[in-house]
């Protein structure tokens, strides 16, 4: 009986063949925290140990409430700064070196194929786009990982999603994952590994694959993953000299369920409030006016995402009464967008350029919604109060749809620009 890529990664980590449903204690290759989840991890860790198991494998990224929005967030960052200094943490990112964590770790060559990665942030599943097993855990679990370098798992069963054909113009991995979540629901893949395959996925860029895996947790999944290919290897070689392992699912691997989608039939999709599964084509929302547009986040803040938005916004203006906030995910993306003229396009259109931060996505800062306001965003969650007031509304969409909506002042299918 063949193995899935997820079963192979765990088998490699525990050094014996394991299958879905088995309990294992796995070595951890990297453990991540941010400025919200990190302080609790530090407090719990210091109750049980004095030195982290490997200072080269702990990653601390101060990206959520930074630049510090208030005294409490400044205090949290100070605690983590002092902890990183005391522990000799190699991968500590703040200030001009900080980026949105799930975009920064691939860029820095930390996230690589075949690794087992955990993060005290639910969207740690992003790194499956590079062929790693990565998942979110709690801050107290993180403290245990820091002390031991290990964590127990139940090896997840795998749901395989094959997307056939070639995607239409303006349709991207964001639209595909919204379509999938709309079909199976926010608990449709509970504790499963969502493996994405098919011609359309093979044609996707690394950025789009990372986006799909990022939102696997929005279907309740333990992880998302895509088999590495030549695009993966090219990206890794450009960003890292560290070792990695390539695993691929066997032809006779056993999947708990298999789903098939015709990529040629997928349109630009939008998730309406207040669930990522409340999905319809963008063309269904033409009467929904917006007050704010956010282009960025760990889901869609890569250069490619900004480039798509700029293609639509070039020579156009943001509609009156609409605030458009653009958040390049990392300093290098910011610099590239500046060098290539994208930031000028956004500013000429009337947009606001934010430094790299998670701020608006979680209703932290840099774009809070007031009562009754509506936002369309390239982020990953639209729960009640997610971006501000409990009586505000958030719609999720791709960068193309968000940019088109900024121009029209209402939710717009990018084909109509």
Average pLDDT over the chain, rounded to an integer:
97
pLDDT at 196: 98
Q: What is the DSSP letter of 285?
A: G
Asked if the bond preceding 398 is cis, omega within 30° of 0, the reply is no
> Which residues, other chains included, contact 71 with Cβ-Cβ below 8 Å and sequence gap of 6+?
none
What pLDDT, on the 0 to 100 scale, is given for residue 36? 97
Average pLDDT (390-410) is: 98
Q: What is the DSSP letter of 410?
A: B
Helix (H, G, I), strand (E, B) or coil at 402: helix
8 Å CB contact between 224 and 191 = no
Give the number of residues written for the chain. Answer: 417
Q: 73 falls in which pLDDT band (50, 70, 90)?
A: very high
Residues of the chain above pLDDT 70, percent? 100
Fold of 269-416: Aconitase; domain 3 (3.30.499)
Categorise residue 131: left if φ over 0, alpha if ψ from -120 to 50, beta otherwise.
left
Residue 1 has pLDDT above 90, yes or no: no
Q: Is the pLDDT of residue 296 over 90?
A: yes
**What backbone phi and psi angles, to 5 degrees, belong to 32?**
-115, 140
Q: What's the pLDDT at 280?
A: 97
CATH code of the domain occupying 5-261 = 3.30.499.10
Identical fold for domains 5-261 and 269-416, yes or no, is yes
CA distance 42 to 50: 10
Residue 316 reports pLDDT greater than 90:
yes
Angle at 173 between CA 169 and CA 177, to 5 degrees: 125
The residue ranges of every structural domain in the chain are 5-261, 269-416
For residue 18, name the pLDDT band (cuts at 50, 70, 90).
very high
Q: Has residue 216 got a pLDDT over 90? A: yes
What predicted TM-score, i.e. pTM, was given to this entire model? 0.95
Helix axes 206-214, 230-239, angle to 10 degrees: 90
The confidence score (pLDDT) of residue 17 equals 96
Q: What is the pLDDT of residue 286?
A: 84
DSSP string for 286-334:
TT-B-SEEEE-HHHH-SHHHHHHHHHHHTT--PPTT-EEEE--SSHHHH
């Amino acid at each position: 009986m063949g193995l899935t890529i997820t079963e192979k990664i765990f088998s490699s980590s525990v050094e014996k063949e394991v299958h879905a449903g088995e309990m294992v204690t796995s070595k951890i290759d990297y453990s991540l925290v941010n400025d919200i989840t990190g302080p609790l991890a530090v407090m719990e860790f210091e109750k049980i140990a004095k030195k982290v198991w490997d200072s080269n494998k702990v990653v601390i990224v101060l990206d959520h409430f930074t630049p510090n929005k208030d005294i409490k967030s400044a205090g949290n960052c100070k605690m983590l700064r002092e902890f990183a200094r005391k522990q000799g943490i190699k991968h500590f990112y703040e200030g001009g070196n900080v980026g949105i964590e799930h975009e920064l770790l691939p860029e820095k060559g930390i996230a690589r194929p075949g690794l087992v990665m955990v993060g005290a942030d639910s969207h740690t599943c992003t790194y499956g786009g590079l062929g790693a097993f990565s998942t979110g855990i709690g801050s107290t679990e993180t403290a245990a990982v820091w002390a031991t370098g290990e964590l127990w798992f139940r090896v997840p069963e795998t749901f395989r999603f094959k997307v056939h054909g070639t995607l239409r113009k303006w349709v991207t991995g964001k639209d595909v994952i919204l379509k999938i979540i709309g079909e199976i629901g926010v608990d449709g893949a509970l504790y499963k590994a969502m493996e994405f395959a098919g011609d359309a996925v093979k044609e996707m860029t690394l950025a789009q694959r990372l986006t799909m895996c990022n939102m696997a947790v929005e279907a309740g999944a333990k992880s998302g993953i895509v088999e590495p290919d030549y695009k993966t290897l090219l990206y890794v070689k450009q960003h890292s000299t560290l070792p990695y392992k390539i695993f691929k699912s066997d032809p006779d691997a056993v999947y708990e369920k298999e789903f098939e989608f015709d990529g040629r039939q997928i349109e630009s999709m939008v998730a309406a409030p207040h669930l990522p599964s409340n999905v319809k084509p963008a063309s269904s929302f033409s009467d929904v006016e917006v007050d704010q547009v956010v282009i960025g986040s760990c889901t869609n803040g890569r250069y490619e995402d900004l480039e798509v938005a700029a293609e639509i916004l070039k020579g156009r203006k943001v509609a009156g009464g609409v605030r458009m906030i653009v958040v390049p995910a990392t300093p290098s993306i910011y610099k590239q967008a500046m060098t290539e003229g994208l930031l000028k396009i956004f500013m000429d259109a009337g947009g606001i350029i934010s430094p790299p931060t998670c701020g608006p996505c979680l209703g932290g800062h840099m774009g809070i919604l007031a009562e009754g306001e509506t936002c369309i965003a390239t982020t990953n969650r639209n729960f009640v109060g997610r971006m501000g007031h409990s009586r505000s509304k958030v719609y999720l969409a791709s960068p193309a749809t968000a940019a088109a909506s900024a121009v029209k002042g209402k939710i717009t299918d990018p084909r109509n620009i």
